[in-house]
Structure 1
Amino acid sequence: MELSPDLHASLQVCGDASSLADDAFYALSGLVFDVLLEKKTEDDVLDDKRLGGVEKGLLKQSFAAIVTLIVEGAKNDAESDDLTHYLEDCKFSPEKSQKLGKMFHKHKPEIRALLGRSRTLVPRVIDIDWRLDYYMKSKQLERINQPTYIINIKTDLQDAKPVQFACSMEQLQDLVAKLKDAARSLEKSSST
């Protein structure tokens, strides 16, 4: 598990008992897992009474460091012993590192399942409507006689409005040609 030097430094501050008391660390660790498992929000961390004596900047830095460590550990399918050794390298006491390691071991399957379900929401096209408008004249010109295609693309995102645009016949032909190129490229890549 390759972690950045900045994360290592943030974890060293978090593991230092003079910066973050043991009770506050244990409370923060539990809240980190609650946030990752979507049982609580990040605002709940800032409002938690057990962390009232911790300076907000240190609290945010420690929260981010522990979250990053847990997510990277789950993503790389690290064992709790690996996490414990890494924390001890960051000057954590054996008690703190073992406690966080046990919590990680307990919740790792749930976090991995959440990571497996999360994806970047790239909308998929589900329908395309079109119509042909024929402009015969305008205010500026007596005669135009120009066809214009109005295209509506509907996606699978529930709250998204359809993408609508107008184009000339040449622009539509160019779009169709590019889509055919993309389809051929996809067919080639899936057949190899």
Structure 2
Amino acid sequence: MELSQSTLDGLILAGDNAHVSDKSLSVLVTRAFDGLLDDRHKNLISKDPSFRGTDQAIVKEAYAALVTLVSEASKYDLDNNHLERVNEAVYLVSLKTEVPGSRELKEVQFSCTQEQLQDLVGKLKDACKCLEKVGQI
């Protein structure tokens, strides 16, 4: 089963806790199935109070991706037991960042491969060296 890049991007947004909370994801999946099974439930996602405070463009994109995934899977008569192995480690990274002019910390979450993580560590080491040089001046 092949999915378009826009569908994959929408699924990534749906699974990204920084954009869609776990509770909202559960509602999003339920609404996607409800919309496919009954026309009366189609597009009710925009009126759902579970997504108040969430960027509506992200909610719509994630919803469309989930609907596409489910409809494509049903075309091929796939179930939740049909998985492909990638055999590549994925690291989930959570960083606490300072917000200029505020005492609050903002949490940034992302996932990356081992290669991407090594690249990030290298760039962070380079940034630390630059700061050390600036501090010595």
TM-score, normalised to structure 1's length? 0.41
| Secondary structure of the corresponding residue to residue 80 of structure 1 | coil
Measured after TM superposition, the shift of residue 6 of structure 1 is: 2.2
| Secondary structure of the corresponding residue to residue 81 of structure 2 | helix
Percent identity over paired residues = 29
Number of corresponding residues: 87
Distance 2:65 2:52 in 1: 19
Distance 1:45 1:82, change over 3 A: same
Partner of 2:41: 40
Give yes or no for contact 1:32–1:63 (8 Å, CA) kept in 2: yes
Measured after TM superposition, the shift of residue 67 of structure 1 is: 0.2
> Residues 116-171 of structure 1, C-alpha deviation per residue, up to 9 Å, x if partnerless?
xxxxxxxxxxxxxxxxxxxxxxxxxxxxxxxxxxxxxxxxxxxxxxxxxxxxxxxx
Measured after TM superposition, the shift of residue 82 of structure 1 is: 2.4
Measured after TM superposition, the shift of residue 34 of structure 1 is: 0.9
Partner of 1:135: none
Partner of 1:12: 12
Partner of 1:28: 28
Partner of 1:55: 55
| Secondary structure of the corresponding residue to residue 82 of structure 2 | helix
TM-score, normalised to structure 2's length? 0.57
2:77 counterpart letter in structure 1: D
Distance 2:53 2:27 in 1: 12
> Residues 30-52 of structure 1, C-alpha deviation per residue, up to 9 Å, x if partnerless?
1111111115131x211111121
Distance 1:72 1:61 in 2: 16
Give yes or no for contact 1:27–1:51 (8 Å, CA) kept in 2: no
| Secondary structure of the corresponding residue to residue 82 of structure 1 | coil
4+ residue runs of structure 1 moved beyond 2 angstroms? none
Computed over aligned residues only, the root mean square deviation of the Cα atoms, in angstroms, reads 2.3
> Residues 36-78 of structure 1, C-alpha deviation per residue, up to 9 Å, x if partnerless?
1115131x21111112122110011001000000000001111
For the pair shown, which has the larger CA radius of gyration, 1 or 2? 1
Partner of 2:124: none
Which piece of structure 1 moves more, 3-12 or 67-76? 3-12
Gaps of at least 5 residues in structure 2 are 93-137
Measured after TM superposition, the shift of residue 25 of structure 1 is: 0.5
Distance 2:51 2:30 in 1: 12
Measured after TM superposition, the shift of residue 20 of structure 1 is: 0.5
| Secondary structure of the corresponding residue to residue 20 of structure 2 | coil
Distance 1:71 1:41 in 2: 14
| Secondary structure of the corresponding residue to residue 24 of structure 1 | helix
Partner of 1:68: 68
